[in-house]
Structure 1
Amino acid sequence: MEREGATRGRGRPRLAAIDDAIHAATWDVIARAGYTGLTFEAVAEAAGCTRMSLYRRFSSKAELVGATMFAMSRAVEPVIPDDIAPLDALMMHAQATVDYLSGDRGTAILSLISASARSPELRAISEEYERGEREYFLELFRELFPDSDAEQRHFAFDSYIGLMLQHVVIRRTPMTPEKLRIIVDSVLKLLAHD
């Protein structure tokens, strides 16, 4: 997300407060109306800005969703010290995943997963976003279990995402540090298994 007063090529400076309102409104509209109900008009109304503000920033609703996903990811991303143990880094990122999926964003994410099957543009943007998240976890898994193979690490990541969606989004389980550790430990057992 650009900082307040930062410029974006031609035109007026972009304000971070407007960007934040747009991203919050995007999550809200998707949670209420799904991806098919996501329109620039609905987001502009919910964000308290003009449609022109959106058209200046995004060429499509898929691009808007991609920017919103990346902005939220940056907002919850933990600051990981260089000397932290891989398991502790994994736990910090697991908490960030819970924060990302909590509340109406989780409902919106489920809608986006479903819509990705029907929208090649949204699928490409979602895959690009997921690729960055996946690579970070795969590297942590490799550090924790150097003898694991790539297929095991990918399976563990997919299992991790499935467990998080099930507990945080679908069941809306209050996620205590103890419960989060159980999820992480169950995923790590997949990597320890030969």
Structure 2
Amino acid sequence: MVKDVAVILDSNAKKHGPRGRPFDEDKSKKIIQATWKILSQEGYDGLTYEAVAKEVGSNRATIYRRYPSKAKLVQSVMRETLYSLRPDENDDISPREAICNLVQIGIDYLADYRGRAILNVATIAHKSPELAEVFNLHLNAITPYYEKQFKKIVPDAPNETIDFAMNTLIGGFFYHIVVRRINISKAQIETIVDQAINILKTTR
């Protein structure tokens, strides 16, 4: 796993603001919502401290003190949103059911402004090494949950096969939610999960 991934899901990272300042959770939530909204509507280039401050009802200096770069702002917003949706570790359910739950969490993550915002960030990440690192850290915080369940189903599956099945699954529901902008039913989630499991079992 890439370094700093643990920080993405570390609850201790949520307790204090920068430079020892008390953490203002209400303002943080507003900043998160504003950042997702601007990324969705204006893209990364349109994400500015001034735009976030206007949405939040604050000033540019307040935003800048918390996040010294746009990439750090995006990283923090992704981290906090991901943490809020982190799946419970439940060994009492089947790997298939666990993967279905992960897909539902992924769908919830992409709801509202977030799906289009993620697409906008991914589209230009190659232009900025700092942003690319942020995006890769984010992906590397998500994929271990899928990998763990796929390995339970086929313990000896090559990593390349697991990676292909996992990304086929994630890419599938991402396409429906973000590109087509349609809802996916529980039955449809089970269908795409079964397709990914079939890939895992047959592509070896």
* TM-score for both structures, normalised by structure 1: 0.92
| Aligned-partner Cα distance in 1 for 2:18–2:107 | 35
Task: Report the Cα offset of residue 6 of structure 1.
Answer: 4.0
1:107 equivalent to 2:107? Answer no
Residue 22 (structure 1) aligns with: 31
* 1:176 equivalenced with 2:197 (yes/no): no
Aligned to 1:98: 107
Deviations 1:147-174 (A, max 9, x none): 3110000111211221122111001121
The answer to whether residue 41 in structure 2 is matched with residue 41 in structure 1 is no
CA distance in 1, matches of 2:156, 2:55: 50
Q: Match for residue 78 of structure 2?
A: 69
Residue type of the alignment partner of 1:70: R
1:191 is aligned to 200
State the 1:145 CA deviation. 1.2
| Deviation at residue 122 of structure 1 after TM alignment | 0.4
- In the alignment, the residues of structure 2 paired with residue 2 and residue 77 of structure 1 have an alpha-carbon distance, to the nearest angstrom, of 11
Question: For 1:162 and 1:50, how far apart are their aligned partners in 2?
Answer: 38
Q: Partner residue of 1:157?
A: 166
Which of structures 1 and 2 has the larger relative contact order (alpha carbons within 8 angstroms, sep 6+)? 2
Q: Is the 8 A contact 2:96 2:193 kept in 1?
A: no
CA–CA distance in 1 between the matches of 2:142 and 2:197?
17
Pairwise CA distance, 1:11: 4.5
Task: Kindly state the Cα deviation for residue 40 of structure 1 after the two structures are TM-superposed.
Answer: 0.8
2:135 is matched with which residue?
A: 126
Taking structure 1 as reference, are residues 52 and 82 closer, same or farther at Cα in structure 2, changes over 3 Å only? farther
In the TM superposition, what whole-angstrom CA distance separates every residue of 1:89-114 from its partner, at most 9, and x where no partner exists?
21111100000112321111110011
* 1:79 aligned to which of 81, 88, 102: 88
Q: Secondary structure at the match of 1:140?
A: helix
Q: Does 1:55 align with 2:64?
A: yes
Q: Which amino acid aligns with 1:22?
A: I
Of 142, 149, 166, the match for 1:140: 149
Residue 27 of structure 1: SS of its match in structure 2?
helix
Aligned partner of residue 92 in structure 2, secondary structure: coil
CA separation in 1, counterparts of 2:11 and 2:148?
28
Q: Give the TM-score, by structure 2 length.
A: 0.88
Q: Take 1:62 and 1:186, find their aligned partners in 2: how far apart are those partners?
A: 35
The answer on whether the counterparts of 1:106 and 1:168 sit within 8 Å (CA) in structure 2 is yes
The RMSD of aligned alpha carbons is 1.9
User: Quick check: 2:18–2:66 contact (8 Å CA) kept in 1?
Assistant: no
Q: Structure 1 CA distance, aligned partners of 2:197 and 2:116?
A: 27
Q: Structure 2 CA distance, aligned partners of 1:80 and 1:176?
A: 23
Return the letter of the residue paired with 1:26: T
In the alignment, residue 113 of structure 1 is paired with which amino acid?
A
Number of residue pairs aligned between Structure 1 and Structure 2: 193
Report sequence identity in percent.
Answer: 33
Unaligned 5+ runs, structure 2: 1-9
Distance 2:65 2:11 in 1: 14
